[in-house]
Amino acid sequence: MTNEKNYYQVLGVPRSASQEDVRTKFRRLAMEYHPDRNKDPVAQEKFKEINSAYQVLSDPQKRAQYDRFGHLGVGSGRGAGQGFEGSETYGGFGDIFDAFFGGFGTRTRKHPQQGRDLHTTTNMSFEEAVFGVDREIDVERVEPCSNCKGLGAEPGSSASQCSHCNGAGQVRRVQRSIFGQFTQVGPCTQCNGEGSIITNPCSHCRGSARERRQRKIRVDIPAGVEDGMQVRLAREGDAGSNGGVPGDLYIALQVEPHEIFLRKDHDILLELPINFAQAALGDELDVPTLSGPETVRIPEGTQSGTEFRIKGKGVPYSAKGKRGDHLVIVNVVTPRNLDERQRQLLAELAETMSNGSKDDKGWLGKFKDALGKDA
């Protein structure tokens, strides 16, 4: 009769527990009793027990032997984590990592990595931002070597399999500890994790498989962009490594201000100066827009700050050709440096406006009366 504890009881699972139930229970107990997390002296012994139980119950063949013959069926007394004669089992921390991360054996030599994103800036005029423009951008980027086509070896030659790791790109080292065997996996130092060694490197890129090149990239900048926006060109950045895709190219837009126009969302604003006579008597004026001159009728008595809207002459904002409006804001300008004749005419106008009709004193007379009452 053996005094060793029942493995099902150690993990706290029934005999009918599935492999996933065993795995889940082991994870929870391993985190609870791991010596690095639990400093209780009892935790170390408990940790060894659950690790031994998991070594058996996580292996269908060993579990079947254990269910038939108990501890004798799995080589009781050979030490934690040791299996049948002639088999290679990595116990201790290695199994914990296997349980948590799927095992070292699933690692690849080097994962594909996406290339670096690139950033550049381009200047454009106010009109180009409104209507869009097609242009070329100068970019320096990393590309696969043009001589070896990204292989790293001189044309006509090829890389040979690394004899140290047998092409795996990684090596496994097993160390023993008080908790069992500890497995470490790391990149092969002979081939730097590539799995192959280039004996005749490319003379152009010196075996790096990549080179820097100056390129002209054509970009279609859409209509309606604004200052500070970015245009993204997918896969136009640096080349990736180990089969990874290239990065992206981001183009920041700097829009130059216009001499007379301002922009507000999808509308174009124009401040139109007019004189006193035009505001009082009305007028028709040809005003500039981004699409050419447009006639605006200024009605009599127009006040400074009045806004006139020309429909559909602003910034495009949809694929169906919709555009904002062109807004004309009137600014009545007070004249300066009048000649004698202009002064005389304005004085006569002011006199007529201040006298008014017989029944109306005019605004100036009313203003004077109001001042007299306050006094």
pLDDT along the chain (375 residues), means of 10: 74 89 86 77 83 87 82 55 34 42 44 91 96 95 94 89 86 70 78 86 91 96 94 95 91 96 96 93 95 95 96 89 94 91 88 64 56 52
The answer to the question of residue 178 being in a domain is no
pLDDT at 20: 87
Same domain, 225 and 247: yes
- Contact by Cβ (8 Å): 190, 197: yes
pLDDT at 363: 52
Domain of 93, CATH number, reads 1.10.287.110
pLDDT at 370: 58
pLDDT at 163: 87
Same domain, 130 and 220: yes
Domain of 132, CATH number, reads 2.60.260.20
Structural domain boundaries enclosing 224: 109-142+211-256
pLDDT at 80: 37
The answer to the question of residue 24 being in a domain is yes
Structural domain count of the chain = 4
pLDDT at 180: 61
Measured CA distances, 62 to 20, 73, 231, 268 (Å): 16, 8, 60, 80
Q: Tokens 């981004």 sit at which residue?
A: 290
Residue 126 CB-half CA count within 13 A = 15
pLDDT at 112: 85
Same domain, 25 and 121: no
pLDDT at 28: 85
Same domain, 215 and 131: yes
Walk across the sheet containing 267-274 and list its strands.
Answer: 261-264, 267-274, 326-332, 307-310
pTM above 0.75, yes or no: no
Query: At 143, which amino acid appears?
Result: E
Closest CA to 231 of 219, 214, 223: 219
